[in-house]
A and B are shown apart, each in its own frame.
Chain A
Amino acid sequence: MKCSVVVFPGSNCDSDCFHSIRDVMSQPVEYVWHKETTLPPCDLVILPGGFSYGDYLRTGGIARFSPVMREVARHAKTGRAVIGICNGFQILLESGLLPGAMLRNRSLSFRCEYVSLRVENSGTMFTKNFKKGEVVKIPIAHGEGNYFCDEKTLAGLLAGNQVVFRYVTPNGAALDSANPNGSADNIAGIINGKGNVLGMMPHPERAAETILGSQDGKKIWESLLECLK
C-alpha cells in the first residue's frame, strides 16, 4: 500500500500520519508538498490534520486551491483511496469531494479528548476490519468540527449509508450529550457515494499504538492494507 501524505503550510499531523504508515504499518509512504502538480504513484492519499493556511477565511478554504488538490481530485475520480483527517476532512468539504461544511463547535471550545465512535458502516475499504455497530475510542482535537449539511444532503447520506462514524456514549448511544461539537446527527465521519473518499474529524493516527492509549485507529490502516495491497 503506497501512501502519500500531503503537507500544507500549517499541517501539523503530517508526521504523525507518516509515522503511523511507515513505522506501525511498515508500508511505503512519502510526503507531498502542496505546491506539487503531480502525485507520486500511490494507492492512498492522506490529507492530514492541522491548520492549513492558519485557518484563514475558513478551515480548509484556502488549502483547497493548492495545486496538489487538482491531482488529489483526479486520484479520487479514478476510484483510488483518499482519507481526510480533521483539517483534511475540512479541506475535502471545501473542495467539494465530500458534501457539507464545518461550523464552529457548538461550545465554541477547542475540544481535545478521546471520544467514543460507533462504526455505522463496516462495508467500506476503510472500515472492513470493524464490526458494524462496534464502539471505538479515537481522539479528536478541533475547534471547528460541527458538521453541517442541508436536510436533503443529510437524507442522501443516510440513504446511501455514507455516515461511517457517529459520536456516541461509551455504551454506544448517539445522544446529544455524546456530541462534542454539535454535528448534525452526531456525524463524525462520512464517505462519498463511490466509497473511496473518507473524511473524519477523529484522528486514527493518534490511536494506532498501545503506547498512545488506543489501537482502534489502526484498524482503518489495516482495512485499507487488505483492500489495497
Chain B
Amino acid sequence: MHEAKVVVTLKKSVSDPQGKAILNALHSLTFNEVQEVRTGKYFEIRLAGEDKDLLEGKVRQMCDQLLANPVIEEYSCSIEAKG
C-alpha cells in the first residue's frame, strides 16, 4: 500500500484571484510581512501495490489527465509506502 500526496497550483504566469483576496485579508489582519499568497488543491491518494516507481508514474498520469489542467495549472507529487 502506498499513499501519494499531490499539490496542484495555478502556474506562476496565471493570476490567482483567490490568493489575492486572501493576501488582502491577511494584510487587514496586520500580517504586513505577507508578500504573496497562491492557493491550490491538495489530494491524498491511497494506492494498492508495492512498486513505488510504477505507482508514481500512474499518479503523474492521473495529474495529467484529470487532477490538473495543464493550460493553467502545475502539480507536484510525492509518494511513500504506507502500512
Name A residues whose Cβ lies closer than 8 Å to a Cβ of B: 57-58, 61-62, 65, 93-94, 99-101, 103-108, 146, 148-150, 182
Contacts and interface: CB of A to CB of B under 8 A. Distances in A.
A100 B71 contact: yes
Interface of B: 10, 13-15, 17-18, 21, 41, 66-67, 69, 71-72
Given A148-B71, A148-B72, A57 B66 contact: yes
A108 B22 CA distance: 11
> Chain A: interface secondary structure?
loop
A71 B21 CA distance: 40
Contacts of A62: 66
Contact of A61 (B10, B13, B18, B69): B69
A182 B17 contact: yes
Contacts, number: 38
Contacts of A101: 69, 71-72
Nearest to A99: B71
Nearest to A96: B71
B17 A146 contact: yes
B67 A108 contact: no
B67 A57 contact: yes
A177 B6 CA distance: 38
Contacts of B13: 150
Given A61-B66, A103-B72, A148-B71, A108 B21 contact: yes
27 contacts: A57-B66, A61-B66, A61-B69, A62-B66, A65-B66, A93-B71, A94-B69, A99-B71, A101-B69, A101-B71, A103-B15, A103-B72, A104-B17, A105-B17, A106-B15, A106-B17, A108-B17, A108-B18, A108-B21, A146-B17, A148-B14, A148-B71, A149-B71, A150-B13, A150-B71, A182-B15, A182-B17
A108 to B, nearest CB: 5
